Amino acid sequence: SYEVRAKDAVPNYSGWSDTAEVTTPPNPPVPTIVFSDGFNGNLNNWVQQTQNYDYSTAASHGTYTGGGSAYCGAGQSDQMYHAFSRPFAQGKVWGWFWDAKGGWKATVCGNSYRQALSLRDMDNAAKMFIDNEFYNTPDNSKYYYRIVGAGGVGHTIYANRDPNTDCNGTWVYFETTVTAGAPGASPAGTIQVKVTDRAGTTTAAPSITSDFYDWGIGRITLGLGITCASECYWDDIAFEATPPGVPTISSPTVTSTTEIQWHFAAADNNIFGFDVADGSGTMISPQYPNAGWVNRNATSWTESGLAANTQYTRKVRAWNGTLNSAAFSANAVAYTLSPAPTAESVAPDSAEVCVGDTVTWTAVGGFGAGKVQYYTYAWDQNPDHTFDGSEPVWSAGTIAVPASTPGTWYLHVQGFNAADVANGTYSYGVTAAPTTAVTQPPANATVCPGTNTAFSVTAVGGSLAYQWQKNGEDITDNGHYSGTQSATLGITGVTADDVAVYRCIVTGTCGEVISLEADLTLLTATTILQQPQPATECSGTPVTLSVQAVGDEPLSYQWQKNGSDIPGAIYDALLFTPATPANNGNYRCVVTATCGSVSSDEVAVTVAATVAADFDGDCDVDDDDYDAFETCASGPGVPLEAGCEAKDLDLDSDIDQADFSLFQRCVSGSEMPIDLACAP
C-alpha cells in the first residue's frame, strides 16, 4: 500500500493522499519434484503388478536417499507402478538402470533385457503408454520407445547400446519429457525420450497421441510385465512437473435466475484442469474424477442450482496433476437474475374499481435476496409499454395509483436484481368502471298469445348483476320465464297472465339502478266463433255457407273447396245461387289476422238433381206438386196465367191434359226419390 504527500522548500507538507494498493504477481512457476525414490530399505512407494520386484542392496546409484534398488531376477516378468491422484498434462520422468555388461558388444558380451521406464494412464488400461525401454526384438543392441494411444507406434528403435563396452557394468540413464501444447492445438504437445550410457546421449521426439489429454500422465511404471532374460536393477526414479501459472478470471455471464457462467483463461499450457471455488476457497466445481470436472480445454464453467437475485463470488485455479497454480485468480462477483414477473408476482387490492378510485398494488413475494430487488413501473391505459429507464422505482411496501377514467388500466413492471440487471416485464390489468347506468332500457312488447317474447336491457358500471321484476315483484326462472337474472328476460308461450309491466334492477360495481318499465300487450288470437254448417239442397235452390271469426284487425277470408282456394271467395259468406250438383264438395274458410291464420271446420255441400215436375223443389213429386199443377190448369189452347210457366211441361203455352200426362209420369210420392228419366 502506498500514500504520497507534497512539500515545499520550507518545508511545508501537505496531507497524505488516498492509499493505492499494488499486488505483485506470483513468481513464474518452476519445475517441481513431485516424486522421487532412492529405495531406502523398501519398495513401499510402489504397487506390484506382475510377479514382484524385490528390494536389493546389491546395487545402488545413490542420488536420492536410500542404499538399495528395485531388483528383477533373471527370467522374471516383474512390473510395478507409482500412481498419482490426478493426471498430469506435462512432466518429466527419469531413472537409472544397472546394465551389468555396460552395453552390447556383438559376439563378446551383452545382456538381453525387456525393461522400461514408462509414463502411463492412471488405470493402466493401455489408453496412453510412453515406454522408454530395452527390448530384444528385433535387436538386443538397441534402445526403444513405444507410444500407445491414437496414432501411437509399437516398439521403435531410437539409439544404440554401447557397442564398445568393456563388458563391465554401468548405470544407464533414461529420461522421458512430455511438453504440453496449447489446449485444442494440433499437435497436442511434444515428447522427448532420452538415453545416456558410456557411449553418450541420444534423444528422439516421437509424436504425441491425439487423445493424450483424454488420459494424461497418471502413473510411473517400471518393467514391461514380460519375461526379462537377465537380472536388472532400477534406482533413483523421479518425476518432475511444472505447476500451472495463475489463471485469470473475467466478467461472468449471468444466464438466468439459477445459473452463472464463469469465464477464465489459463496462464500457460501446463494445465490438465481447473477448480472453481467460492470466495473462501471452498471448491464449488466437481473435482476430478467426478462427472463434470473442468478440463484443460474449458474457458468457462456454468454453475447451476443457484438462488435468484443472490450475489456469488468465485475464483479459479489451474492444476497439473497434483500441482496447483500458486494461487487462485482474483475474485469475480455476480448476481443471479431476479425472478421474471409473472401473473402471480404482483396483485391489486381489487381487479375492478370505480372511476376515481385508487388501486393499491402489492408485490406478492416481497423484495430482496432470492426475490426481485425492485421493479420499475408505468401506469397507463395502453396494453403495452416500452421501458426506457425513466420509470419510477418500487422497492418496498405497496404503491397506489389512481384510475381517473373508465376502461382498462395497466400496471407495467420490469424486475431487476441487486446489480441493476433487468429480467422480464409483465403488464397487469384492472378495470375502472363508470357509475352504474342503464344505457338502453327494455322496449314495449306487443305479442300474440302462445308466442315467445323477450325484454333486454343494456347497462354500464363494471361487473353487473340483473334482477327482472313483473309489476314491481321479482321473478325467477321457472321454464316460463328464463334469464331473470341476466340482461335478457325471456317469456315462453305468452298468455293473458303475462300482460304486465316489466323492469330490470341492475347492480354494478359502482351502484344500482332501475330501468324504465316496459309494457307487454297481448293481441287477440285469431279464432273462429261460428263454424259453417253442411248443406244438402236440390238443384236450383240457393246455398249459403258462412263463418264468424275474431282476431286482431284486419281479418281476411279465403274459402277453399276440397283444399284449394276458390278465386274471389274472400268474404265471411259463400253463396251458391242457384246451387247445382257442380257445387258438390267439401268447403272450409281460412281466416287470417295479425296473430296468424286459422281454418274453419270442413263441411260438405250436397246438391241433388230434380225434374221440372218438382214444382216446390223438394226433390220429390207429390201432392204438393199436384196442387200447384191443378191451380194453373187452363185447358187446350187456353193461354196460361202469369206465374204458371213452370207447369207448361210440353212448352205449348197452355196447361192441359198433355202437360198432366207428363206430370203423372214423374209422380214419386212424398220424400221419395224421383226417377230422373221420367221426363222426355
Q: Write the pLDDT tens digit of every residue in 539-556.
A: 888 999 999 999 998 999
pLDDT surpassing 70 at residue 24: no
Question: 3-state DSSP helix/strand/coil percent for the chain, to nearest 5?
Answer: 5, 45, 50
DSSP code of residue 2: B
From CA 429, how far away is CA 208, in angstroms rounded?
Answer: 67
Quick check: 508 and 502 in contact, CB under 8 A? no
pLDDT at 625: 85
pLDDT tens-digit readout, 46-59: 999 988 899 999 99
Lowest-pLDDT range of 216-220, 277-281, 487-491, 577-581? 577-581
Q: How confident is the model at residue 22 (pLDDT cuts 50, 70, 90)?
A: low
Q: How confident is the model at residue 17 (pLDDT cuts 50, 70, 90)?
A: confident
DSSP code of residue 297: T
pLDDT tens-digit readout, 510-525: 999 999 999 999 999 9
pLDDT tens-digit readout, 610-631: 888 888 778 888 888 888 888 8
Percent of the chain with pLDDT over 90: 81
From CA 178, how far away is CA 119, in angstroms rounded?
Answer: 9
Query: Which residues, in sequence order, are CB contacts of 680 under 8 Å at separation 6+?
Result: 662
From CA 348, how far away is CA 362, in angstroms rounded?
Answer: 6
- Which of 114, 131, 132, 118 lies closest to 75 in space, CA to CA? 114
Domain annotation for the chain: domains and CATH numbers? 32-241 (2.60.120.260), 248-335 (2.60.40.10), 346-433 (2.60.40.10), 437-522 (2.60.40.10), 527-608 (2.60.40.10), 611-680 (1.10.1330)
Strand partners, 380: 410
DSSP states along 564-627: EE-TT--SSEEEESS--GGG-EEEEEEEEETTEEEEPPPEEEEEE---TT-TT-SSS-SHHHHH
Quick check: 274 and 283 in contact, CB under 8 A? no
Quick check: 412 and 394 in contact, CB under 8 A? no
Averaged over 398-407, what is the pLDDT?
96
Q: What's the sign of the alpha-carbon dihedral 343, 344, 345, 351?
A: positive
pTM of the predicted structure, to 2 decimals:
0.69
Residue 394: in which H helix or E strand, if any? strand 393-394
pLDDT tens-digit readout, 555-596: 999 999 999 999 999 999 999 988 989 999 999 999 999 999
Quick check: 120 and 195 in contact, CB under 8 A? no
DSSP code of residue 666: H
Lowest-pLDDT range of 199-213, 263-277, 647-661? 647-661
Averaged over 199-211, what is the pLDDT?
96
Averaged over 368-375, what is the pLDDT?
97
From CA 525, how far away is CA 523, in angstroms rounded?
Answer: 6
